[in-house]
Amino acid sequence: MIKMYLPILTYHRLLEENPSQAIDPKRISVSAGQFRAHLRWLKRLGYQTVSLADYPERLRNHQPFPSKSFAITFDDGYEDVLTLGLPILQEMGFTAAVFAVPGEFGGLNRWDDGKARLMTEDQLRRLQKAGITIGAHTCSHVHLPQVSSDIAQREIAESKMKLEQTLGQAVTLFAYPYGEYNEAAEEAVRGTGFHAAFATDRAPREHDKHLFHLRRVVIFPRTNVWEILWKVQQWYPAYQDWKTNRWGGGAVGRHIMIVSPHRPIAPSPYRPIALWLPVIIWAAFIFYLSSIPHLRFLPNHWDFLVRKIGHLGVYGILARLLARALTGSTLWSWKKIFMWSLVLTMLYACTDEFHQSFVPGRSATVHDVLIDSAGAWLALGLRP
Ligand SMILES: [Zn+2]
């Protein structure tokens, strides 16, 4: 049977300007320009949005969407989704779903910084008329696993009822505030008559088996056009899980991910520099060491040993830095990263020996390359 997964992007707010720490301390916004760039890029590459309205039924019947399909969702129902987002969606011929908080119509996002304006009932109806799917997101944006089951039940049921009164049609989709759900919340959502519920990036990857905690991909203030292309790929959740387990998985990593929609860690544009600059600096340091004529650490035969251990350590560090950079910039398996780090370190060791053959009092030896490789091998063997 085909595994079903539709890439569903989660946006919150749109801003006219670039989000700054002052305007967007919770880091849930993207600028309208950035949003347009995301969509334009995806459209150019042949991607199309699909409506989530019939997604639950498709999942139950195992009817996948064509490849290059994705969905857009906006949580909370901010006014800027109507004023800034809708024109862009229309310009691109795309659709979206908005998960609104009907207890706070026309108010402010009190659960966050209380500064962002939410849509009024009238505004929400305008969105609905424009073909946007409206879903529920509780009445007052509560942490469902933290409130009593009575309150959770009421928050869920009333959000459906109020939205249906406002829109004059059935509301069948639900999104968990903060992406947080537990069994009781899920049961309440199911029992209230919703057809599906959306979580965030800690939910399982198979949509057809988990209709009441569908995985979505969170968009951050600095998600660039390259990252957006990654985020609409079928393999992206697998990559994300692999990365989470590799770097700070376990309890702490998981906790951060669960609360991520409102406290995301944005991918930095300086990331490539942070990954590769240490490699370059360390390689330059090795080059410098090799260019010192008659390099000796100790006056006697111990110097030989010190230098060999030095070789092991220095190349071990180079290999680890390479592995770190490759892990951060590729989707390769550890095996492949291991191999390439080793090969690149060995190649550099060869050029370094070649370099030393020109330095007075230094010489090129094959066994030094072997010692360097052994250092790399040992260092890589100690997996993180
Ligand atoms: Zn929310």
Please give the distance, rounded to the nearest whole angstrom, from the Cα atom of residue 42 to the centre of ligand 1.
25
Q: Which residues pair with 29 in a beta bridge?
A: 13
Instruction: State the pLDDT at residue 364.
Output: 78
pTM (whole model) above 0.75: no
Please give the distance, rounded to the nearest whole angstrom, from the Cα atom of residue 219 to the centre of ligand 1.
13
Please give the distance, rounded to the nearest whole angstrom, from the Cα atom of residue 140 to the centre of ligand 1.
10
Q: Which residues pair with 241 in a beta bridge?
A: none
Phi, psi (rounded to 5 degrees) for 24: -135, 65
| pLDDT band (50, 70, 90) for residue 26 | confident
Q: Which residue has the higher pLDDT, 79 or 331?
A: 79
pLDDT at 135 over 80: yes
| CA pair distance 214, 242, nearest whole angstrom | 19
Distances in whole angstroms, Cα of residue 92 to Cα of each of 9, 84, 184, 191, 344? 16, 13, 39, 37, 44
Q: Which residues pair with 49 in a beta bridge?
A: 70
Please give the distance, rounded to the nearest whole angstrom, from the Cα atom of residue 349 to the centre of ligand 1.
53
Please give the distance, rounded to the nearest whole angstrom, from the Cα atom of residue 76 to the centre of ligand 1.
5
Please give the distance, rounded to the nearest whole angstrom, from the Cα atom of residue 261 to the centre of ligand 1.
8
The mean pLDDT value for 313-338 works out to: 86
Instruction: State the pLDDT at residue 190.
Output: 96
Q: Which residue has the higher pLDDT, 128 or 292?
A: 128
Please give the distance, rounded to the nearest whole angstrom, from the Cα atom of residue 46 to the centre of ligand 1.
30
Instruction: State the pLDDT at residue 358.
Output: 87
Please give the distance, rounded to the nearest whole angstrom, from the Cα atom of residue 348 to the centre of ligand 1.
50
Residue type, 156: I
Please give the distance, rounded to the nearest whole angstrom, from the Cα atom of residue 138 to the centre of ligand 1.
9
183-230: per-residue pLDDT in tens? 999 999 999 999 999 999 889 888 999 999 999 999 988 788 889 999
**Percent of the chain clearing pLDDT 90 (strictly above):** 59
- Kindly state the helix (H) or strand (E) to which residue 197 belongs, with its residue range: strand 196-198
User: Which pair of structure tokens corresponds to residue 198?
Assistant: 């959306």
Q: Which residue has the higher pLDDT, 38 or 269?
A: 38
Please give the distance, rounded to the nearest whole angstrom, from the Cα atom of residue 178 to the centre of ligand 1.
6
With CA atoms as reference, report the closest residue to 236 among 209, 216, 264. Answer: 216
Phi, psi (rounded to 5 degrees) for 93: 70, 30
| pLDDT band (50, 70, 90) for residue 253 | very low
| pLDDT band (50, 70, 90) for residue 298 | low
Tell the residue number behind the tokens 């008329």, with chain if given. 129
Q: Count Cβ atoms below 10 Å from residue 144 Cβ, excluding itself.
A: 24
With CA atoms as reference, report the closest residue to 29 among 70, 71, 79. Answer: 79
Rg over CA atoms, the chain: 27
Please give the distance, rounded to the nearest whole angstrom, from the Cα atom of residue 137 to the centre of ligand 1.
7
Please give the distance, rounded to the nearest whole angstrom, from the Cα atom of residue 186 to the centre of ligand 1.
17
44-58: per-residue pLDDT in tens? 999 999 999 999 999
Name residues whose C-beta falls within 8 Å of residue 255's C-beta, 6 or more positions apart in sequence: none
Residue type, 66: P
pLDDT at 264 over 80: no
Please give the distance, rounded to the nearest whole angstrom, from the Cα atom of residue 47 to the centre of ligand 1.
26
Please give the distance, rounded to the nearest whole angstrom, from the Cα atom of residue 139 to the centre of ligand 1.
11
Instruction: State the pLDDT at residue 2.
Output: 63
Please give the distance, rounded to the nearest whole angstrom, from the Cα atom of residue 100 to the centre of ligand 1.
8
Please give the distance, rounded to the nearest whole angstrom, from the Cα atom of residue 112 to the centre of ligand 1.
9
101-120: per-residue pLDDT in tens? 999 999 999 998 888 999 99
Q: Are 342 and 319 in contact (CB under 8 A)?
A: yes
78-91: per-residue pLDDT in tens? 999 999 999 999 99
Instruction: State the pLDDT at residue 260.
Output: 41
Residue type, 75: D
pLDDT at 248 over 50: no
Going by the DSSP 8-state scheme, the letter that residue 177 receives in this structure is G
Please give the distance, rounded to the nearest whole angstrom, from the Cα atom of residue 251 to the centre of ligand 1.
23
Instruction: State the pLDDT at residue 247.
Output: 54
Distance of CA 172 to the CA centre of its chain: 27
> Helices (H) and strands (E) in the chain — how many of each?
14, 10
| pLDDT band (50, 70, 90) for residue 382 | low
| CA pair distance 182, 346, nearest whole angstrom | 50
Please give the distance, rounded to the nearest whole angstrom, from the Cα atom of residue 35 to the centre of ligand 1.
19
Please give the distance, rounded to the nearest whole angstrom, from the Cα atom of residue 280 to the centre of ligand 1.
42
| pLDDT band (50, 70, 90) for residue 297 | low
| CA pair distance 376, 298, nearest whole angstrom | 25
Mean pLDDT (the chain) is: 87
The mean pLDDT value for 152-160 works out to: 97
| pLDDT band (50, 70, 90) for residue 1 | low
Name residues whose C-beta falls within 8 Å of residue 187's C-beta, 6 or more positions apart in sequence: none
Instruction: State the pLDDT at residue 246.
Output: 62
Please give the distance, rounded to the nearest whole angstrom, from the Cα atom of residue 355 to the centre of ligand 1.
59
pLDDT at 311 over 60: yes
Ion ligand 1 — residues with CB under 5 Å? 75-76, 177
Tell the residue number behind the tokens 């949509």, with chain if given. 207
Instruction: State the pLDDT at residue 73.
Output: 98
Residue 28 sits at the vertex; the CA angle it makes with 76 and 121, to the nearest 5 degrees, is: 20
Please give the distance, rounded to the nearest whole angstrom, from the Cα atom of residue 88 to the centre of ligand 1.
22
| pLDDT band (50, 70, 90) for residue 273 | confident
Please give the distance, rounded to the nearest whole angstrom, from the Cα atom of residue 111 to the centre of ligand 1.
9
334-377: per-residue pLDDT in tens? 788 889 999 999 999 999 888 888 888 777 778 888 888 889 98
Strand, helix or coil at 259? coil
pLDDT at 161 over 70: yes
User: Which pair of structure tokens corresponds to residue 100?
Assistant: 């609104």
Q: Which domains does the chain have, with CATH numbers?
A: 8-262 (3.20.20.370), 271-381 (no CATH)
